[in-house]
Amino acid sequence: MNNILKTIWKLAIILTSASLIWFLLGSTAFFQRFYFDLVEFAYFISVWVPTLVLMITFIFLIKKGWIPRSLILQVVITIIILIASISVSTVLIKNTTLYGWIIKRTRIDYVQVTDDGKYEYQLALTNLFQRNSYARLLITDVSTDDEMIIPIKIRTKEISGITVPSKTVPKREEPPLPSFVWCTI
């Protein structure tokens, strides 16, 4: 029975450890950014850190060979470990973001037209606020619908914020504002 319990405990530790690593990779976009957003930080503090401490405790107990002598206590502890492992792993995996490392996150401003009316263009910023960020200009020939993508050497790593104008702003006779404006410090 002791070998079965140790195997179940080790599988629970492996499952939970894998979910801890997956959440860490997702919340840092595979270490492309070194900060958490507010929701990820809340999960990190309330779920990730306590789970890591619990996993270290379980590993320590398995290494020391500690298993309760009572069969009922062994079954109860194993059930608690399985339920905790599955529930914590589910929460961590479900709340891991894939944007910025597996799925690119691109912000595109609204379509603008050149003065001669021949081309439409948009600025696209991909994976903004990360080390792997870059900018492109998306150009469309109005007469032929040919599309071109031109990489632009904007120092996207120096952009510290963007703002999107409100759609409730009254119409003016002035030229339109860009859909987002970037700021550097």
Burial call 126-161: b when 16+ CB within 10 Å, e when fewer: bbbbbeebbbbebebeeeeeeeeeeeeebebeebee
Give the pLDDT band of residue 5 (cuts 50, 70, 90): confident
pLDDT for 103 equals 93
> What is the predicted pLDDT for the residue at 185?
46
> Do 78 and 117 fall into the same domain?
no
- Boundary of a domain, candidates 31, 64, 94: 94
Tell me the pLDDT band of 110, cut-offs 50, 70 and 90: confident
Tally the domains of the chain: 2
In a domain? residue 100: no
What tens digit of pLDDT does each residue of 127-182 get?
Answer: 988 999 999 999 999 999 999 999 999 888 888 787 766 655 555 454 554 555 55
Which range of residues forms the domain containing residue 146? 106-184
Query: Do 110 and 90 lie in a common domain?
Result: no
Q: Please tell me the predicted confidence (pLDDT) of residue 177.
A: 47
**What pLDDT is recorded for position 181?**
54
Mean pLDDT of 33-61: 89
Q: CA triplet 165, 170, 173: central angle to 5 degrees?
A: 100
Query: Are residues 108 and 124 in contact, defined by beta-carbon separation less than 8 angstroms?
Result: yes
More confident residue, 177 or 70: 70
Residue that terminates a domain, selected from 51, 69, 94: 94
